[in-house]
Every structure is written in structure tokens, then in C-alpha cells.
Amino acid sequence: MPASRRFLQLDVFASRLCDGNPLAVVVDAEGLDRATMQRLARWTNLSETAFLLPPTQPQADYRVRIFTPRQELPFAGHPSVGSAYAAIEAGRVDPSRGSLIQECAAGLLPVRVVGSEASRIIHVQAPPARVEPLDSALADQLAAALQVHLSIDQVCRVDNGPHWILCNLERADTVRGLLPHMAALAALCIEQKAVGVSVFGRESRGDAAMAVRAFCPADGIPEDPVTGSANAAIMAWLGGRGDRDGYGVRYRASQGREVGRDGQVDVQRDPGTGAVTIGGACVIGMRGELMLD
């Protein structure tokens, strides 16, 4: 008889189904080994699949393991936001509490819960980021893959759990008009051990200050709809540049329109500590049972 486990699929960084980034969540993941989790992540074929588990540290309220179709990640943004939402919806944590602690491979991360039911917004603090410059040869390789002209000042590498290569294209219309060479981006990501390349530029209309895109072709995701860790990495880079780009310590990013979505990520940096949080709405699209032999 197959084992039955609760299963949710939800959209993260959107309040309407089909606008955000889909996340599969195995609510009762106790007893699953790493190989089975990876196999399930390949089967769901989403950018990430999350597995909820009891915490191993007394400070934590729950634990999550996060897998792309290719690998396990120590941290990812939309699975962290979505996992907190799913843990509340499934009754694994107390929904009346305004703050939680998530345990993941990147450590213990504070979670802030604002509102309830359909209006609930989840904010997750990203792990501390390490920002590194790219050399000119790698910047040229990136420019060729993105099919744009770049200066060394427009690119960097950020590690906030996953490794991201970032590119400031300055204008939203440049971001939205990109037609990158996916095979070249995949080769670059594999060579640099990066989960993906994220680009951003200033938005001049609507309620978002920034347009963002994230390409993860090496993991089988040519373009990720809405990407929390990339948005957190961008804010960490902006802060490290002394905020000379003028976004401030709080803004909203728009991502996903190029793949038929309309996600929104609220990004904030503590001016004292430099800690970055990413937040947004979630909506559940599927509830069911996962049957495993």
C-alpha cells in the first residue's frame, strides 16, 4: 500500500493563481531520504520543490529542504516564503504567531507573518550575502551570453546560499527585451557553480521600482518566474555599493511578465545590520495526497 503524504502546490509572490512562481510542498516529508526528494523534485518539474520536516534545533519552528530538478539548495526565496505559508496552512505551526524561525541548510532564518488567511504576507530574512566582483573575462563572457554590452561595474557574483551572477542593466526596457543565449548561460553557470544569472533595471511606471529576470538553464529552468534569493542578492549588492543606484532600503520588484506571470517581491534592507528580507503573498492552487511506494 503506498504511503500517503499531504501535498500542496501554491503560487508564491502573487495573490492570484497563475501570477506567481509555483512551488510544490510535501507537507509530511518525514522518512524521505535525499535521493527520493531529488526524484520527486525532478517529477514535479518546477523550479523548486520543498519538503517540510520537524526541526532539529530547539529555536526553530519547522525545517525545510529545498530541491531544484538538479540539486539541493541551502536556501531559496520563493520556497522559503511558500514553505512558511504551507506550514501555517497545514497546521505545522501556530497561525496566530507573528514570527517564526525556519531551519534550512543555510541556517536559522527569521520569518515575519503579517495578516491572516487570504491577506497573509510572509517575509523571510535571507542568509548573509557575500558579494564578489567578476573579472573582465567573465564579464565579457556574460555579455556575450546575454547579448548586451556590459562594463565591469555592472556585474558581480553574490552568494546568499545559492550562488548568483548579477547584472545591472539599468533600464527595465533593456531587461524586458533581453533574448539571452541559453546554452551559453547554462555553460557559464556550470563553470562558475552558479544557480543562475539575474538581471535588473529601474522601472519607470507602475508600482514597482525594479524589473527583474532570472535565468537558470543549467537546472532545467530557462527562466524562473519570480525569484526570492535573486532579489535578496540584488539588494545585498545595492547596499554594498552604498546605495548609489538610488533604490533605497525598501522597494518592490516586478518579475515574471516575460513568461506570462506577474509576480511582486517586497525587498527590504535593515540600514543598521544590512540584513535583507524578501516578502510577498501566496495562494494555494492544489491540495492533495502524494502516494509513494
| pTM, rounded to two decimals | 0.95
Q: How far apart are CA 102 and CA 91, in angstroms?
A: 15
pLDDT of residue 243: 86
Share of the chain above pLDDT 70, in %: 99
Please list the residues that pair with 108 across neighbouring strands: 103
Half-sphere exposure of 163 (CA within 13 A, CB side): 15
Q: Where are the domains of the chain?
A: 3-127+280-292, 130-271
With cut-offs at 50, 70 and 90, classify the pLDDT of residue 66.
Answer: very high
For residues 188 and 172, is the Cβ–Cβ distance under 8 A? no
Residue linked to cell 522518512: 31
Rounded mean pLDDT, 55-68: 97
Q: How far apart are CA 68 and CA 57, in angstroms?
A: 25
CATH topology for 3-127+280-292 is Diaminopimelate Epimerase; Chain A, domain 1 (3.10.310)
pLDDT at 1 over 80: no
Please list the residues that pair with 284 across neighbouring strands: 10
User: To which CATH superfamily is domain 130-271 assigned?
Assistant: Diaminopimelate Epimerase; Chain A, domain 1 (3.10.310.10)
Mark whether 48 is an active-site residue: yes
pLDDT tens digits, one per residue of 106-148 = 999 999 999 988 889 999 999 999 999 999 999 999 999 999 9
Mean of the per-residue pLDDT values for the chain? Answer: 95
Q: How far is CA 221 from the centre of its chain?
A: 13
Rounded mean pLDDT, 140-160: 97
pLDDT of residue 205: 86
Fold match between 3-127+280-292 and 130-271? Answer: yes
Q: How far apart are CA 158 and CA 160, in angstroms?
A: 6
Which residue of the set 30, 48, 223, 258 is catalytic?
48
